Amino acid sequence: MKLKKYSPYIIAFCATIIRYYDYALFGLSASMISKNFMPGAEDGDQMLVFFAIFSIAMVARPLGSIVFGKIGDKVSRIASVKISMVLAAVSTSLIAIIPSFESVGWFAVILLTLCRMLFLVSLAGEIDAIKIYVAEKIGKRRRHLAIGIVSFSSQIGVLLASVMYHVAISFEEIQWLWKMNFFLGGLLGLFIIMMRGLLQESEVFLKSKSRATEEADIGIISIIGNNKMKFTLAVLINGMLGGGYHFLIIFLGTFAANVADVISPEQATAGNIGIISVYGISCVLSGYASDKIHITKQTAIALTCSISCVVIMEFMLKLGVFADYLHYALAFIAPFYAVPCAIKMQSLFATGVRMRMFSLSHSLGSLIFSSTTPFICMLIWRWSQSFSLVLAYFLIQLVVLFLALLAIARKDYTNMFET
């Protein structure tokens, strides 16, 4: 009986693990993918093209938010999850069989981009729907903790991706080994598809189904028009949160090792595993704390500490030292503002439009700010050859996030979870 009660959460957490494995594997495998699919003679040029593709593919994600958002608002959250599961498994598996740039030239780049775009379309329908589904189903008392566990699950997926990447780079002479990592993602996705029947819709959604259906019939432009300020702030906050995550977890270690050359690739790979582990554990601690204390104070303190750490890191770089312990500190602090922000963004919107508004703001934030962070940082490096300026871009993101959250606090919006 208990298993049946908790099975929807277990499936949601497992689906998050697998999807973030797929998501992170692409970014963590940047050096190998760029060598196989990107033109250019030098690693820096190949990485620049890779992160350009990484950013361009994000244009597909808002489309997924609109399509799956309407399914999630009008039909059910779990319908969105089930359909997107299939798309994600297929698109991840296809990356394993795409021919290299040497074999088919730019056609390889096009195929890789299309696969990534299909995956990002599905990501909007699955990950965003899962976050809303869990937050609605769990109830008020443990809502932040539940999202903290979802975020922890995502880091298990990222950690698994990091370990598999470490294995692939350790046996780089086996040229096809990295492809097996993507094939494994497809197989794990198939397992979750088989378990989809255990998902059960939340009572919050079912109780408001008639009203939610009427709201779901409203056009997306009208919905945005009715929520202009909320939506704008949500785009900004989601973008800054995603940009910070990309910088700390996906980009910084790889950049320090393969581009700035201040640490070895082996240090970067081992460091990635440690950073991801610290971030994941902190997600659970943050969720627990957010249910117990005032989240505005928590986010303000966490952001202040993060900004202070970046300033100290900048000072250390001026002395010629890359302070990896500050990288760990930033990874530990980040969930203490990221987890409560995830719930805050959802609470801005009514049940019947929540999926579209939260997912679309997440997608647009990713498109404009988050996914472009590695690419912009690479451009800053190419222009300046300054690690400090690259780090300064992350500092700006933290300041903008702080100001956006301050604007929400001053507006004192009604909590739409409770109405």
pLDDT digits (tens, 9 = 90+) for 395-407: 999 999 999 999 9
pLDDT at 257 over 50: yes
Classify residue 382: in a domain, yes or no.
yes
pLDDT at 100: 74
- pLDDT tier, 304 (very low <50, low <70, confident <90, very high otherwise): very high
Classify residue 91: in a domain, yes or no.
yes
Classify residue 75: in a domain, yes or no.
yes
Q: Report d(CA 216, CA 184) in Å as an integer.
A: 37
Bigger pLDDT: 256 or 310?
Answer: 310
Comparing 157-166, 205-214, 364-373, the range with the smallest average pLDDT is 205-214
CATH number at residue 187: 1.20.1250.20
User: What DSSP assignment string belongs to 121-177?
Assistant: HHHHHHHHHHHHHHHHHH-STTHHHHHHHHHHHHHHHHHHHHHHHHHHHHTTTSTTH
Neighbours of 190 (CB within 10 A): 15
Name the residue range of residue 292's domain: 2-411
Report which DSSP code applies to 323: -
Mean confidence (pLDDT) of the chain: 86
- Residue 320 burial (10 A CB sphere; 0-12, 13-18, 19+): exposed
| Strongest mean pLDDT among 9-18, 247-256, 279-288 | 279-288
Q: What is the mean pLDDT of residues 187-197?
A: 83
Classify residue 195: in a domain, yes or no.
yes
pLDDT at 41: 53
Lookup: tokens for 195: 């378990």
- pLDDT tier, 40 (very low <50, low <70, confident <90, very high otherwise): low
Q: What's the pTM?
A: 0.85
pLDDT at 1: 47
Query: What is the number of domains present in the chain?
Result: 1
Q: What is the mean pLDDT of residues 69-85?
A: 89
* Residue 314 near residue 406, CB atoms below 8 Å: no
Classify residue 42: in a domain, yes or no.
yes
Q: What is the mean pLDDT of residues 59-78?
A: 89
Supply the angle between the helices 106-138 and 30-37 in degrees, to the nearest 10: 150
Classify residue 417: in a domain, yes or no.
no
Classify residue 158: in a domain, yes or no.
yes
- pLDDT tier, 345 (very low <50, low <70, confident <90, very high otherwise): very high
In degrees, to the nearest 5, what angle opens at C-alpha 307 toward C-alphas 346 and 144? 25
